[in-house]
Structure 1
């Protein structure tokens, strides 16, 4: 079965990572978003830290934002989403990243001096997809791994989104947060999963009858019918397999098993 096409509205949804510090998190976030059908990534003023794999991270120059190049560590963690990183937009400010958007969701889990209500990704997803389906641009904005979004960055957005979780311990990695939010969006697209199911090849009447006859022979070899009504029992077995709607693979497995049993019977005699 052919894989279904993704809804075109997903092309109007942008994942924005602001002031990300760990190179691996950028790659992991790209992988998470592509898994859910999103490919548009914008990086706002990335300030990468040194890591064992990236001891000398590239520095970001706001005056030459498009000249910034991600280190190989980001691409390694992106796995099959390398294209998302290669086509990522690099900008110096969140206002620049959001310039063409109609709806922008700030992901935050901190108490703030803001009166706007916070919603979960599941609550906001239908409206976000509707906006994207109308051809408008939607942004999902994620802050720095340590400090999150600043109050100014949150105020630049017109929606507040939070991932509900354990109030006594809530600590999501940046890529995990991206995965949760993008999954909730994708779950509202109703993309069918039929392509994941193995095609069933139902067994024919002749194949089922042949398998039942094989079973009857093996049961006879085992002496199963010595004190039982053979004809009545086999009618019930035939009816059982008819109700089960077995496929050809089931038939092959059962007949392989019957052959093994017959060989064991021969050896024991």
Structure 2
């Protein structure tokens, strides 16, 4: 499936570009584009912070304008903490990546804009997006590091693409096996005098049968119970050691 393009607009520090690349690769994304990075490019500090994700930097596209960077995209999302009066849908990262998945499933290409560290995206940048993505953070301190924002978006992209885990196939016990286990419980507990007083015995036995059927036991579980019951009986039947000294 086509993956979204992560577009870093006028990033200021090579370290943050490297951190963003590392965050992307953590979640299987490798399409990065850069618009007017402030410092030299390629940037050795970016490579150092990428920590093994250098191939993303090697293949990153370099563009002069946002318009150029999003030119082949059919859907553009702008990450920003401030709506700034622009009338656009405002999405959480979860909602945005759900829409991004739907767009790529339909054959579209998604671009996600991330602004510079100091002030974020300008209105001119946001105006080119179809929707705004805002992380619901503390309103008194809404500043996110560039790599942190990239990480959140990459995580949500991967999460929405994960198929539900198939339940493990269990070797469930049959009704007959559970019935026999109930018989074993009744036998051993009856010998131990558990069903007392006698008038309550039928209700107690019924409760045990109900419990065993409710537990969704596997065949291994049933064998463990049988072994426990047998061992308890053996322990009770074993003669106590004599306290008399041998002569």
| Structure-2-length-normalised TM-score | 0.69
Question: What's the CA shift string for 1:42-70, capped at 9, x where partnerless?
Answer: 3445567xxxxxxxxxx415xxxxx9895
Within 5 A, what are the aligned runs for 1:85-96? 85=56, 88-93=59-64, 94-96=66-68
* Residue 113 of structure 2: aligned partner: 141
Q: What SS does the aligned partner of 1:194 have?
A: coil
Within 5 A, what are the aligned runs for 1:19-168? 19=11, 21=13, 22-23=15-16, 25-31=19-25, 33-34=27-28, 38-46=29-37, 59-60=40-41, 70-76=46-52, 82=53, 85=56, 88-93=59-64, 94-110=66-82, 112=84, 114-121=85-92, 122=94, 124-125=96-97, 127-168=99-140
* Residue 4 of structure 2: aligned partner: 13
What root-mean-square deviation, in Å, do the aligned CA atoms of Structure 1 and Structure 2 show?
Answer: 3.9
Cα distance, 1:166–1:20 mapped onto 2, change above 3 Å: same
1:203 and 2:173 correspond: yes
Distance 1:39 1:256 in 2: 55
| Structure-1-length-normalised TM-score | 0.65
Q: What SS does the aligned partner of 2:51 have?
A: helix
Aligned counterpart for 1:250 among listed residues 208, 221, 229: 221
Deviation, 1:14, is 1.7
In structure 1, the gaps of 5 or more residues are: 1-7, 49-58, 62-66, 77-81
Q: What SS does the aligned partner of 1:104 have?
A: strand
Distance 2:56 2:196 in 1: 72
In structure 2, the gaps of 5 or more residues are: 241-247
Question: What's the CA shift string for 1:221-250, capped at 9, x where partnerless?
Answer: 643135346566434422432344322343
Q: What is the number of equivalent residue pairs in this alignment? A: 234
Deviation, 1:262, is 4.9
